[in-house]
A and B are shown apart, each in its own frame.
Chain A
Amino acid sequence: MKFAWVIGTLVSTRKAEGLEGVKFLIVQPLDERRLPSGEPYVAVDATRQAGLGELVFVVASREAALALDESFVPVDAAIVGIVDDVHAPLLPEEE
């Protein structure tokens, strides 16, 4: 799983079966120090509680679909947790 920052929302009415009621969020991928790294992408919110500006962790690939109640869905990224705290004494300080 990787860190990401929730930066936006995406609305779609026409989508694959099984995705009704699933929330799509735009996230900015982050490196291990929680600094932006790479291009934003879209993830489903399996916590149902992630909001704009929050630090979250995202599971990718086939495992992402498993985070949803209906798991036979074409989903390759899912927010599975909202980060309260990271304790990382072995990483260089964030600027």
Chain B
Amino acid sequence: MYLARVVGNVVATIKHPFFEGRKLMLVQRLDLDHQPTPTYDIAVDDVQAGVGDFVLVFDEGTGARQILRAGNTAPVRAVIVGIVDDVEQYGIG
């Protein structure tokens, strides 16, 4: 999983049936200083996240299918699994 900022959402009419009724968000990966990195992803939202939210993104297929209760043939990897309230760092890394 990694930390990200929701920077937008994506709308598609023609799509794989798995995505019917699911919200697709554009997320930008953040570094440990919460600064945006050049890495982005289009993730399925499982927690009602909104644009601007600081979130936790899960990025692995098998787990993603479990989280979304999607059966074992859903073509999905990235899922927003949490809205982050706070990150505590110990100052040692």
Contacts and interface: CB of A to CB of B under 8 A. Distances in A.
Query: Would A and B touch once assembled, by the CB under 8 A criterion?
Result: yes
Interface of A: 1-3, 31-32, 46-47, 49-50, 57, 59-64, 66-67, 71, 78, 80-91
Contacts of A64: 75
Interface of B: 5-16, 18-19, 24, 26, 28, 38, 40-43, 51-52, 61, 73-78
B11 A67 contact: no
A71 B16 CA distance: 14
A91 B8 contact: yes
B11 A80 contact: no
Contact of B7 (A66, A82, A84, A91): A91
A86 B51 contact: no
B74 A84 contact: no
A80 B26 CA distance: 15
B8 A90 contact: yes
Contacts of B75: 46, 59, 63-64, 66-67, 78, 80
Contacts of A49: 14
Query: What 6 A-B pairs are tightest by C-beta distance, nearest first?
Result: A88-B8, A81-B15, A67-B75, A32-B40, A81-B12, A1-B42
Contact of A86 (B10, B15, B73, B78): B10
Nearest to A46: B16
A84 B16 CA distance: 14
Given A46-B16, A89-B51, A1 B41 contact: yes
Contact of B14 (A2, A32, A47, A62): A47
Given A32-B26, A57-B24, 9 more contacts: A59-B77, A62-B61, A63-B61, A64-B75, A82-B12, A86-B11, A86-B26, A88-B8, A91-B28
